[in-house]
Every structure is written in C-alpha cells, then in structure tokens.
C-alpha cells in the first residue's frame, strides 16, 4: 500500500525528468493520444509570425513553422532544421564575421510532401526584406544583404558588416522558414492580403492547420509527413484563445478542462491555492526578465525648464554613489520576491541573470538587507539629519525622493515596502503610480513616461531579446540617454554616462567567440550593478500550468513554450 | 448611521490606535483576531486602521467635491431656469461639459497642476484640492439640468407670478421662492453626488491620477481587495460595505430632509 502511494507521487516527476529519452519505441503510432487542449488567454489573430509581433501569434505558429535553430530551455542554441550550428571553429562563420553558412538536414519535407530546400530559406529572406513590405521581424534581418544557395541544402547568409553574433535570422520562433511555393505571390505590399496563406501556412513542424478562427481558436492536426516516426503523440491540438489569466489557471489547475495554460501572472497566493487542487502543476522558466529600480542621474526639478532631466544637470543627491548604494542596501530583495512573485520569481543581483555563462558571480550576497550599514554609509558621506525632521540632508539638499512606477498591485506593494525601509534610514519618499499605457507609452508629449523620468526613482521590468546581451547592454550607452533632442526616445533612462562603459560596449560589438563575449558582458553587468545605476530586484519567470496527465512538457523562456510539442504525450497521473 | 460612521472615522486614532501605514511583515495576510480585528493585508497592515484612515480621506473628498459640484450646478441651473436669455448659452455650456471626455480632461488637469500644487501645498493637501476640484468641476452637469427643469416649471406657477406682481426682486425670488421649492431635487442630487464622488476618487487613484498609493482611501482598499476576493473576502467586503452604507445613509438623510422641508410635500 505504502509503496503504491509512493509510486503514485513519484511517477510524474520521473516522466518529467526523462523527457529527453523517447519513452516510446519508434513503432508507436502517430496521434495515439488523441487531442491535447491548450489555452492561451490572448487569442492568436494570424499564424504568420512575419506579420505579427505578438507572442500569442508567434507561439501558435510555432506548431507549424520551424526555424533552422532554436534555443533550448537553458538558453543554448540547438540545431533544428539545420545539421549543426555554424561557428568560427567549424568554418560555418567566415573569419571576417560577415558570412554564415547553414546546412539543412537532408530529407526534410513540408507537410504537403514537397522537399524543403535552401531556396525556401532564400525566399523567406526576400519575403521579409521586400520593399514596401510590413515585415514585423525586419529588425532580425538587419544588415543581411543576400542569401545564396550553392546547392539545395546550403544557405549562405551574407551580411554587410561584421556580425560577431550572427544568429539573428532563422533562429527562434520569430523567424521560421516559409514555403516559397506557397507564399510566392505574397511578397511586399501583397503580404497582408494573402489571408489563405497567413491563416494556414504550410510548415515542416509536427502539426498542420486544420481550422483557424482568428481571435478565437485554432485546430491543428498531426503532420503526416513529420520527420520523426511516431511523433507527435497527440493527433490533434485544440488551441483556444481568450478569457484571462485567472480563468486560464482555473481551467487547467482546478477544473481540468484544458491540458496547458500559458502565462499565468497571478498573485503567488492565488496560484498556490489553485495548484493545491491537485489537477495540475505550475511550471516556470527563467530568462532575463528582471524587475529593477533605476535611479535618475539627472535632476528632474521642474524649475530647470528645458534642461530638466537632461545630462547637463546632475542630480543633487542621487549623483552621490553613497546615496544610491545606501538605498539599495536598505532593500530586502528576498522579502520582495516572496511577497510579489513567490515561486515565479527569484532574487537576483545581476541585470543579466542568465544564461549561466553571462551571469556574473561578483555581486552575490547583494540581496541581504543591511539597514545599519546603510545608515552608517549615509552618515559617513555627510548626509545627516541635522534639523531633526527624520530626513537626512547635506548642504541644504534633503533626501526626499519621488518614486514612480506603473499601476500594478505587485509594484505598489514593492513601492510601499521600499518607502518603509527607506524611512528607516532617514530617506523620505513620495510614491506615484501611473497608468501602464501612459508610463510605457513613450509618448514624447506626456510628462509621465518612463523615458522622460520626471522623478528621482522608478521601477519597471526589462529583458534581453535572446541570450546574447549585446543590444541589451547597449541600452546604457551614453548616447542612448533620452533627451529633447531625440524626442525622449532613448533607452538609457538612468542617464548613466561612463566612457569606460561605452568602450567596453564597442569592444563587445567587435568580439566573436562566446567565452570572450561573456567575459565582457559580465564586466559591463558589474559596472551597472556596482555603480548602483540599476538595482536588480527579481528575476521574473514565465509561468504556465500543465495538467498532471500531460508529460514531455519542457517550458522554455528563450523560445516558444510549445517548442517541443512533438514530444508531448498523455500519461496516467 | 451616517453620524456613527462619521464619528467613528473622525475619532479613528482614538477608536483604534494602530497606525494605518505600519508595515508588519510578520503578520501578513492574517485573519481577524484580537491584534487585528479585521485582519491584515498582504504587507501586514491593519485593515481596521486603514479603513478608519481611508474613511477620513474618502468622506472629506466626497463632501468637498459634492459641495463644489452642487454649488456650480445650482447656480447654473437656477440662472438658466429663471432667465430666458441666459438659458441658451448656459445649457450649451452644460452640453459642452457633458460632451467632453472626462478622463483625458482629468489627465491633462493632473499633468498641468499636480506639480505646482504639490510644491505649494505639500503633496497630500495639493492633491486633495486638485481631486476635489477635478471631481466637482466634471460632475455638476446633471444637477444643473435637473434644476433648470424644476425652475422652469416653477416659473410658470401662479404663486411665482403673484410674487412677481408684488415686485419681488430676483435675489429675493431665488432665496424665498425658488430654492425652497427645488430643495428636494437638490438634496437628491447632492446625495447621489456623494456616493459617485467616493467611487470617482477610487477610479482616479487606480489610474494613478489620485492620491499616492500609500494613502488609504475606501476606493483604493476596495480595488486592492477585489484581487483577493477568493481567499480573503473581508478585504474587499469591508470597504465595499462602508461605501454602500455611507451612500445609503446619505440618501436616507436627503429623503428625510426633503420630507420635512418640501413645501409641496406639506401641501399634500
């Protein structure tokens, strides 16, 4: 009896851990497990990722369309339709870093039975870069000038400038390969009009589109020409969109109507209560989405008029490193993580917390709260409460700050906690919360945007696009500081300006080789964190839920969450 | 009942001495008990203390905003009802205000005046005045319309003509004959105004236009509480109940007042 109970509890974990090993022999039949029901609370509106930037659309399309390579859950690049990842060492990347050669796996076919060739790769490039076209992924094809096809299985990408990290196009779910034959008449301005193609693209993936109702649901059936014998295990996929995160969580965890629910950003107590019903479990994956506090290095005083919050006017208090460090030391990041995110977040001291090779270990231990140390630091820097009003001052400048963020229950809790801790070290804080559409709206005429930063301290979340942090770290370049000259569109909201940092950034954009790049990226991360330009708080994970009868799920924060749906199968919980 | 609410809220700190802003991380999400009669929220703040503190703000905002909106509404309503030549322009003005989208207008108002007012009067007083004026200035229109109708009907009555024939001046006419006769409609408008002002304030706070997030008001407590309706229903139910009770009490008060003072009511 006892043994039986034990097996009952352990079984799901064993199956989860052993997903890499095929659980069924190759003679097992495709479609043997019937239907899997997936719920995305944002419904897909199109199945062509080149015409939509929405995650819901990209992930729905990822069942059908596939790229040359993907990132696995650890952020490591894995060949998908290609035989191997081209690198300098294997000769796939040319020495001058401008050419990259991909080799397609021989014998691959589209779901209609026709062969996949390098011509399709070339066509996809032409499709996205066509003049007058509105390709949503154009940025990924930046500097790519041609794709040559020396033979049917080789595609050579030629860039106009050296690309130390050349894995932009055809890697990841945003830039899959389209079938040239199907989309031939849909180039440029005609692309959005090709409804039939955009709603039911032909792909190489495990599923084909059977029926698509935009903004409602998609029904997929298994691709009879799929390359792996006996896969996928599910003959059809019901991909439903709509409702909200709360209802989606209930549908999997409480009622069991669905097998998989995506993106459940709910309060930790709410999630725990749902999971306690025992119908399913919560799965998380972490990438680089970090909730952070940013200090304004420039003076936001309205009296400065035009020069308000621009580089010429340093902040009277926050330009002092001691003040920034003390504010950071007063925070108990573990408590914040626990209250705000529970199991779906983890405390971080780095602005780049992943993949492991890029994560610096120089800042470990930052998370411990040290109120006494913060007080001592402020006192030794000359900030003392000489008039007895509970607020420290120096040369007539009081430590009174405005702390703004978007309206969001978790962020308001964080604000309240920070205010209380800062009060204990003699810093007064005025809190402001701004509607998210305004705060993140980047409208240059609004005074309340994150970029304008007409406050002293602000909090928001940001992430690196993909595992390579070059463009992400580039956000803190001096020239990217928002100002009236660039219509307040810069990404360096802290107005951090350090020539040394900019030099490192230049070096990063010219260095190839993963280990060297990681070394520079870690240095830059440490500069940002140890100068207390940003205070990383929580590494926020992707949260989804799966039914206990669903096995093979490996949630992936770097790629589509459904990246390995061909491996999914039904088990008895 | 209103008296009870007002007195309890007014005496807040003497009734329950715990400070509303005190964060006690050791007592997060506590249920009702001796230390916290109504429990605590996700940061360990005492709900009862927050309700009392929030009540002071909410009632003050509601009362002040109601006075602003009723004064504006009455002035415009009576003037346009009594004087034909003012009727057209004033009612078009009312139409204009009704047609204005309230939210963008408030956004602009707050963006323009928030910083100067905060600097001049301190963040909390500055925002209080701003919110009262903003709510008052965007909710007087229905009062003006209702009163105009009442006054126009009144102007055609015999006793008004009689008063006019005896040479009553306009000022005396308004205070002696018009206002007493429209007091019913006025009180109903005012009481409805109090309830809607409480809710309006909470909506503003939610959008980040109102009070800072650490300042408790009933509306904010209600909004924060709704997310926890499933596992901690008290957090939303108590502020909700207080808003309802206040609105009801004010309405009954208005009713009772009308019953006593409406001359038409006596005539029947």
Show me where the domains of chain B are located.
45-261
Q: Name the minimum distance, in Å, from the CA of B102 to any CA of chain A.
A: 16
CB contact under 8 A, B43 and A413: yes
Tell me whether B29 touches chain A (CB under 8 Å): yes
CB contact under 8 A, B214 and A434: no
Residue A396 near residue A344, CB atoms below 8 Å: no
**Do A453 and A305 reside in the same domain of the chain?**
yes
Q: Compute the residue count for chain A.
A: 573
How many independent structural domains does chain A possess? 2
Least confident window among A318-332, B149-163, B203-217: B203-217
Tell me whether A273 touches chain B (CB under 8 Å): yes
Residue A101 near residue A87, CB atoms below 8 Å: no
Beta strands in A395-455 (DSSP E): 397-398, 400-406, 428-434
Q: Name the minimum distance, in Å, from the CA of B213 to any CA of chain A.
A: 6
pLDDT digits (tens, 9 = 90+) for B136-193: 888 888 889 988 998 888 888 888 888 888 888 888 888 888 888 888 788 878 887 8
**Burial of residue A530, with CB atoms counted within 10 A of its CB: 0-12 exposed, 13-18 middle, 19 or more buried:** middle
What pairing do the DSSP bridges indicate for beta strands A35-40 and A260-261? parallel
As a whole number of Å, the end-to-end CA separation of chain B is 29
Nearest to A448 among B43, B111, B214 (CB): B111
Fold entry, domain B45-261: MetI-like fold (1.10.3720)
CATH classification of the domain holding A35: 3.40.190.10
Rounded to the nearest 5°, which phi and psi values hold at A401? Answer: -125, 155
**CA distance linking residue A351 with residue A338, whole number of Å:** 19
**Do A233 and A294 reside in the same domain of the chain?**
no
pLDDT digits (tens, 9 = 90+) for B92-136: 999 988 888 877 787 778 777 877 777 777 777 888 888 888 888
Domain membership of residue A70 (yes or no) is no
Domain membership of residue A51 (yes or no) is yes
Tell me whether B233 touches chain A (CB under 8 Å): no
Q: Could you tell me which of A135, A63, A68, A70 has the C-alpha nearest to residue A100?
A: A68
pLDDT at A19: 41
Q: Name the minimum distance, in Å, from the CA of A339 to any CA of chain B.
A: 8
Domain membership of residue A569 (yes or no) is yes
pLDDT at B265: 57
Q: Is the dihedral of CA A457, A461, A465, A469 positive or negative?
A: positive
What pairing do the DSSP bridges indicate for beta strands A457-462 and A400-406? parallel
Mean pLDDT (chain B) is 80
CB contact under 8 A, B208 and A432: yes
Residue B222 near residue B243, CB atoms below 8 Å: yes
Domain membership of residue A427 (yes or no) is yes
B chain contacts of residue A419, beta-carbon cutoff 8 Å: 214
**CA distance linking residue B102 with residue A478, whole number of Å:** 40
**Do A279 and A298 reside in the same domain of the chain?**
no
**Do A226 and A246 reside in the same domain of the chain?**
yes
How far lies A334's CA from each of A347, A386, A403, A526, A537, in Å?
6, 33, 20, 20, 9
Rounded to the nearest 5°, which phi and psi values hold at A150? Answer: -60, -35
Domain membership of residue A499 (yes or no) is no
Residue B182 DSSP SS3: helix
CATH classification of the domain holding A366: 3.10.105.10
pLDDT digits (tens, 9 = 90+) for B32-47: 777 777 878 777 788 8
A chain contacts of residue B113, beta-carbon cutoff 8 Å: none
Domain membership of residue A314 (yes or no) is yes
**Do A424 and A394 reside in the same domain of the chain?**
yes
Nearest to B207 among A412, A413, A435 (CB): A435
B chain contacts of residue A412, beta-carbon cutoff 8 Å: 213, 224
* Closest chain B residue to A301, measured at CA: B115
**Do A32 and A53 reside in the same domain of the chain?**
yes
CB contact under 8 A, B43 and A416: yes
**CA distance linking residue B171 with residue A568, whole number of Å:** 83
Q: Which helix (H) or strand (E) holds B44?
A: none
Distance, C-alpha A500 to centroid of its chain? 28
**Do A333 and A438 reside in the same domain of the chain?**
yes
Model confidence at B263, pLDDT cuts 50, 70, 90, reads low
Model confidence at B261, pLDDT cuts 50, 70, 90, reads low
* Closest chain B residue to A420, measured at CA: B23
CB contact under 8 A, A269 and B231: yes
- Name residues 111-150 of chain B within 8 A of A (Cβ): 111, 115, 119, 123
Nearest to B227 among A267, A302, A433 (CB): A267
**Do A333 and A388 reside in the same domain of the chain?**
yes
Give the list of residues 6+ apart from residue A38 with CB closer than 8 angstroms, or none. A237, A238, A239, A240, A258, A259, A260, A261, A262, A562
Q: Name the minimum distance, in Å, from the CA of A435 to any CA of chain B.
A: 5
Model confidence at A4, pLDDT cuts 50, 70, 90, reads very low
Q: Could you tell me which of B120, B207, B108 has the C-alpha nearest to residue A447?
A: B108
Nearest to B42 among A413, A420, A431 (CB): A413
**Do A312 and A453 reside in the same domain of the chain?**
yes
* ipTM score: 0.71
CB contact under 8 A, B206 and A335: no
Domain membership of residue A177 (yes or no) is no
**Do A16 and A44 reside in the same domain of the chain?**
yes
Tell me whether B98 touches chain A (CB under 8 Å): no
CB contact under 8 A, B214 and A431: yes
Most confident of A299-303, A380-384, B135-139: A380-384
pLDDT at A258: 94
A chain contacts of residue B27, beta-carbon cutoff 8 Å: none
Q: Could you tell me which of A78, A104, A105, A102 has the C-alpha nearest to residue A91?
A: A102
Domain membership of residue A23 (yes or no) is yes
Tell me the residue range of the domain where A368 lies. Answer: 290-465+534-540
Q: Which residues face A157 on adjacent strands?
A: A100, A147
**Do A378 and A456 reside in the same domain of the chain?**
yes
Tell me whether B42 touches chain A (CB under 8 Å): yes
**Do A410 and A299 reside in the same domain of the chain?**
yes
Model confidence at A425, pLDDT cuts 50, 70, 90, reads very high
A chain contacts of residue B207, beta-carbon cutoff 8 Å: 407, 435
**In a mutagenesis test of the A interface, which of B40, B214, B220 is the best target, namely the one with the most A β-carbons within 10 Å?**
B214
């Amino acid at each position: 009896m006892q043994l039986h109970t034990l097996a009952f509890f352990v079984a799901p974990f064993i199956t989860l851990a052993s997903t890499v090993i095929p659980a069924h022999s190759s003679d097992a039949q495709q479609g043997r497990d019937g239907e899997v029901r997936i719920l995305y609370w944002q419904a897909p509106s199109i199945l062509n990722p080149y015409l939509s930037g929405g995650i819901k659309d990209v992930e729905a399309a990822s069942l059908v369309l596939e790229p040359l390579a993907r990132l696995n859950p650890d952020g490591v690049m894995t060949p998908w339709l290609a035989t191997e990842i081209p690198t300098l060492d294997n000769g796939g990347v040319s020495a001058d870093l401008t050419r990259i050669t991909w080799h397609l796996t021989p014998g691959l076919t589209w779901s209609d039975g026709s062969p996949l060739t390098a011509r399709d790769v070339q066509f996809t490039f032409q499709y996205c870069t066509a003049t007058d076209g509105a390709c949503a992924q154009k940025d990924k094809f930046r500097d790519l000038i041609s794709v040559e096809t020396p033979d049917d299985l080789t595609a050579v990408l030629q860039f106009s400038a050296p690309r130390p990290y050349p894995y932009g196009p055809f890697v990841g779910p945003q830039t899959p390969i389209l079938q040239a034959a199907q989309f031939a008449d849909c180039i440029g301005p005609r692309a959005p009009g090709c409804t039939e193609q955009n709603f039911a693209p032909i792909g190489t993936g495990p599923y084909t589109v059977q029926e698509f109702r935009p903004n409602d649901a998609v029904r997929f059936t298994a691709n009879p020409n799929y390359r792996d014998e006996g896969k996928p295990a599910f003959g059809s996929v019901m991909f439903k969109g709509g409702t909200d995160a709360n209802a989606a969580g209930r549908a999997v965890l409480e009622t069991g109507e669905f097998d998989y629910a995506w993106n459940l950003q709910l309060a930790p107590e709410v999630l725990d209560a749902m999971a306690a019903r025992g119908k399913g479990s919560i799965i998380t994956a972490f990438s680089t989405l970090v909730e952070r506090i940013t200090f304004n290095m420039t003076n936001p005083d309205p009296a400065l008029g035009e020069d308000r919050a621009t580089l010429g006017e340093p902040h009277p208090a926050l330009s002092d490193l001691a003040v920034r460090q003390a504010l950071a030391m007063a925070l108990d990041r573990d408590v914040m993580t626990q209250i705000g995110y529970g199991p779906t977040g983890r405390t971080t001291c780095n602005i780049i917390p992943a993949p492991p090779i890029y994560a610096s270990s120089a800042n470990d231990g930052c998370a411990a709260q040290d109120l006494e140390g913060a007080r001592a630091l402020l006192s030794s820097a000359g900030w003392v409460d000489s008039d007895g009003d509970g607020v420290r001052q120096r040369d007539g400048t009081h430590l009174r700050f405005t702390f703004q963020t978007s309206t969001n229950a978790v962020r308001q809790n964080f604000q309240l906690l920070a205010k209380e801790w800062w009060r204990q070290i003699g810093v007064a804080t005025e809190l402001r919360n701004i509607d998210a559409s305004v705060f993140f709206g980047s409208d240059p005429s609004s005074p309340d945007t994150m970029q304008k930063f007409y406050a002293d301290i602000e909090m928001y979340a940001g992430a690196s696009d993909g595992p390579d942090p070059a463009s992400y770290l580039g956000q803190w370049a001096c020239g990217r500081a928002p100002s009236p000259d660039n219509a307040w569109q810069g990404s360096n909201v802290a107005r951090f300006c350090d020539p040394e940092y900019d030099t490192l950034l230049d070096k990063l954009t010219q260095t190839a080789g993963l280990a060297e790049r990681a070394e520079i990226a870690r240095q830059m991360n440490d500069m940002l964190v140890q100068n207390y330009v940003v205070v990383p708080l929580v590494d926020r994970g992707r949260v989804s839920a799966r039914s206990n009868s669903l096995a093979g799920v490996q949630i992936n924060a770097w790629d589509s969450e459904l990246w390995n749906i061909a491996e999914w199968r039904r088990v008895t919980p | 009942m209103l008296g009870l609410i007002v007195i309890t809220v007014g005496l807040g700190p003497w009734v329950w001495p715990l400070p509303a802003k005190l964060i006690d991380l050791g007592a997060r999400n506590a249920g009702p008990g001796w230390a916290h009669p109504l429990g605590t929220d996700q940061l360990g703040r005492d709900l009862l203390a927050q309700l009392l503190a929030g009540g002071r703000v909410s009632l003050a905002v509601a009362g002040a905003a109601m006075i602003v909106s009723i004064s504006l509404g009455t002035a415009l309503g009576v003037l346009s009802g009594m004087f034909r030549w003012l009727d057209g322009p004033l009612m078009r003005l009312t139409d204009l205000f009704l047609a204005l989208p309230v939210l963008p207008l408030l956004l602009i108002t707050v963006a323009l005046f928030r910083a100067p007012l905060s600097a001049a009067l301190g963040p909390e007083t500055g925002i209080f005045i701003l919110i009262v004026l903003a709510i008052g200035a965007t909710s007087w229109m229905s009062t003006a319309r209702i009163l105009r109708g009442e006054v126009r009907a009144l102007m055609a009555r015999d006793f008004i003509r009689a008063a006019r024939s005896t040479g009553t001046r306009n000022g005396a006419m308004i205070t002696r004959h018009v206002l007493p006769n429209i007091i019913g409609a006025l009180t109903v408008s005012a009481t409805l105004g109090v309830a809607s002002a409480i809710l309006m304030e909470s909506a503003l706070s939610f959008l980040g236009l109102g009070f800072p997030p650490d300042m408790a008001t009933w509306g904010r407590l209600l909004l924060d509480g709704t997310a926890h309706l499933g596992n901690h229903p008290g957090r939303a139910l108590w502020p909700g109940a207080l808003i309802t009770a206040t609105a009801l009490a004010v309405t009954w008060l208005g009713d009772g007042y009308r019953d006593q003072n409406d001359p038409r009511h006596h005539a029947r």
